[in-house]
Chains A and B, each alone.
Chain A
Amino acid sequence: MRRKIRILMAKPGLDGHDRGVKYISRALRDAGYEVIYTGIRQSPEAIAHAAIQEDVDFVGLSLLSGAHNELFPEIVRLIRKYGGESIIVFAGGIIPEKDIPFLKEHGVEAIFTPGASFKEVADFIEQNKRRLSH
Chain B
Amino acid sequence: MLNRMEKIKKKKEAWETTTLKKVLERFPERKKRFVTGSWLDVDRLYTPVPQSEEEFIEKIGFPGEYPYTRGVQPTMYRGRLWTMRQYAGFGTAEESNTRYKYLLSQGQTGLSVAFDLPTQIGYDSDDPHSLGEVGKVGVAIDSLKDMEILFDGIPLDKVSTSMTINAPAAVLLAFYIVVAEKQGIPAGQLRGTIQNDILKEYIARGTYIFPPKPSIRLITDIFEYCAQHVPQWNTISISGYHIREAGSTAVQEIAFTLADGVEYVHAALQAGLDVDQFAGRLSFFFNAHNDLFEEIAKFRAARRIWAKLMKDRFGAKDERSRMLRFHTQTGGSTLTAQQPDNNIVRVTIQTLAAVLGGTQSLHTNSRDEALGLPTEEAVRIALRTQQIVAHESGVTNTVDPLAGSYFMESLTDRIEQEVWQYLDRIEQLGGMVNAIEKGYVQKEIQNAAYQYQREVEEGTRIVVGVNQYTLEDEKPDKILRVSPGLREIQIEKLRALRRMRQASRVKRALQKLEQAAHNRNENLMPYILDAARVYATLGEISNVLRHVFGEYQESIVL
Interface residues of A (CB under 8 A from B): 13-19, 22-23, 25-27, 29, 35, 37, 39-41, 43, 65-71, 74, 94, 96-98, 113-115, 117-119
A65 and B136 in contact, given A19-B246, A19-B333, A71-B131 (Cβ under 8 angstroms): yes
Query: Would you call B72 an interface residue if the criterion is a C-beta within 8 Å of the partner chain's C-beta atoms?
Result: no
A91 CB to nearest chain B CB (Å): 14
Given A29-B558, A114-B337: A13 and B372 interface contact (C-beta under 8 Å): no
| Chain B min CB distance to A59 (Å) | 17
A23 partner residues in chain B, CB cutoff 8 A: 449-450, 453
7 nearest A-B residue pairs (beta carbon): A16-B206, A70-B132, A67-B132, A14-B117, A114-B337, A66-B136, A39-B554
A43 CA to B131 CA in the complex, in Å? 10
Closest Cβ of chain A: how far from B129's Cβ, in Å? 7
B residues less than 8 Å from A119 (CB atoms) = 457
State whether B482 touches A66 (Cβ < 8 A): yes
What range describes how many residues of B lie at the interface?
35 or more
CA distance A86 to B468 in the complex (A): 38
Q: Which of B121, B338, B558 has the most CB of A within 10 A?
A: B558
Residues of chain B lying within 8 A (CB to CB) of residue A67: 131-133, 136
User: A65 and B370: CB pair below 8 A?
Assistant: no
| Nearest A residue to B373, CB-CB | A66
- Whether B372 pairs with A96 at a CB distance below 8 angstroms is yes
B185 within 8 A of A: no
User: What is the CA–CA distance of A26 and B442 in the complex, to the nearest angstrom?
Assistant: 14
Q: Counting CB contacts under 8 A, is B479 at the interface?
A: yes
The 8 A CB mask of B367-383 against A (1 = contact, 0 = none) is: 00011110000000000
| Closest B residue to A68 using CB positions | B132
Taking a contact as CB atoms under 8 Å apart, the answer to whether A13 and B133 are in contact is yes
CB distance from A113 to the nearest CB of B (A): 6
Known contacts being A96-B371, A97-B476, is A22 close to B558, with CB within 8 Å?
yes
In the assembled complex, 23 residue pairs joining A and B whose CB atoms fall closer than 8 Å, in A order, are A14-B207, A16-B207, A17-B206, A18-B206, A19-B246, A19-B333, A19-B449, A23-B449, A23-B453, A26-B558, A35-B558, A37-B556, A37-B558, A40-B206, A43-B128, A65-B132, A65-B133, A66-B132, A67-B131, A70-B132, A71-B132, A98-B476, A115-B337
Q: Is the interface of B mostly helix, strand, loop or mixed?
A: loop
Q: Which of B206, B453, B479 contacts A41 (CB 8 A)?
A: B206
Distance between Cα atoms of A40 and B120 in the complex (Å)? 15
How far apart sit A15 and B466, CA to CA, in the bound complex (Å)?
Answer: 25
B266 at interface (Cβ–Cβ under 8 A)?
A: no
Chain B residues contacting A43 (CB-CB under 8 Å) are: 128-129
Distance in Å: Cβ of A68 to nearest Cβ of chain B: 8
| In contact, B558 and A15 (Cβ under 8 angstroms) | no
Interface centre among A14, A18, A98, A115 (most CB of B within 10 A): A14
CB-nearest residue of chain B to A11? B206
Q: Which of B137, B205, B338, B479 contacts A65 (CB 8 A)?
A: B137
B224 at the interface (CB under 8 A from A): no
B71 at the interface (CB under 8 A from A): no
B246 (CB) vs chain A CBs: closest residue: A19
Instruction: For residue A96, give the distance in angstroms from its CB to the closest CB of chain B.
Output: 6
Which of A43, A69, A115 has the largest number of chain B CB atoms within 10 A? A115
Chain B neighbourhood of A96, CB < 8 A: 371-372, 479, 481
B261 within 8 A of A: no
How far, in whole Å, are A131 and B389 apart by their CA atoms in the complex? 56
Task: Report Cα–Cα, A25/B206, bound state, in Å.
Answer: 18
- Chain A residues with CB below 8 A from B247, complex form: 19
- List the B side residues contacting A35 at CB < 8 Å: 558
Task: List 13 other contacts, CB 8 Å, given A14-B121, A16-B206, A74-B131.
Answer: A14-B117, A15-B117, A19-B245, A25-B558, A37-B556, A65-B132, A66-B482, A67-B133, A67-B136, A94-B371, A113-B337, A118-B453, A118-B457
A43 to B479, CA, bound (A): 27
B446 at the interface (CB under 8 A from A): yes
Q: A19-B247, A39-B556 are in contact. Are A13 and B132 (CB under 8 A)?
A: yes
B335 nearest CB neighbor, chain A only: A114
* B94-136 CB contacts (< 8 Å) to partner A: 117-118, 120-121, 128-133, 136
**What residues on B are CB-neighbors of A14 within 8 Å?**
117-118, 120-121, 129-130, 133, 206-207
Contacts of A97 in B (CB 8 A): 476
Closest residue to A70 on the B side, CB-wise?
A: B132
Contacts A65-B136, A66-B137, A67-B132: A13 and B117 contacting too (C-beta < 8 A)? Answer: yes
B413 within 8 Å of A by Cβ?
no
Does B336 touch A at the CB level, under 8 Å?
Answer: yes
Expressed in whole angstroms, the minimum distance between the Cβ of B52 and any Cβ of chain A is 44
Cβ distance A63 to chain B, nearest Cβ, rounded Å = 9
State whether A94 touches B450 (Cβ < 8 A). Answer: no
Chain B residue contacts of A26, Cβ below 8 A: 446, 450, 558
Residues of A within 8 A of B137 (CB): 15, 65-66
Q: Which B205-234 residues have a C-beta within 8 angstroms of A? A: 205-207
Q: Quick check: is B201 within 8 A (CB to CB) of the other chain?
A: yes
Residue of B nearest to A21 (CB): B558
Q: Is B336 touching A114 in the complex (CB atoms < 8 A)?
A: yes
Q: What's the minimum C-beta distance from B339 to chain A, rounded to whole angstroms?
A: 10
Q: Please determine whether A22 and B133 come into contact, CB atoms closer than 8 angstroms.
A: no
B262 within 8 A of A: no
**Which residues of B have CB within 8 Å of A16?**
201, 204-207
Across the interface, name the chain A residue whose C-beta is closest to B134.
A67
The answer on a CB contact under 8 Å between B370 and A66 is no
Contact residues, B534-558 vs A (CB, 8 A): 554, 556, 558
The interface residues of chain B lying within 8 Å CB-to-CB of A66 are 132, 136-137, 372-373, 482
Among the listed B132, B336, B372, which residue makes an inter-chain contact with A94, where contact means beta carbons less than 8 Å apart? B372
Q: Residues 415-427 of chain B: 1 if any A CB is under 8 Å from the residue's CB, otherwise 0?
A: 0000000000000
B369 → chain A, closest Cβ, in Å?
9
CB of B131 within 8 A of CB of A115, answer no
Question: Max chain A CB contacts within 10 Å: which of B137, B201, B247?
Answer: B137
A15-B206, A96-B479, A97-B476 in contact; A70/B131 too (CB < 8 A)?
yes
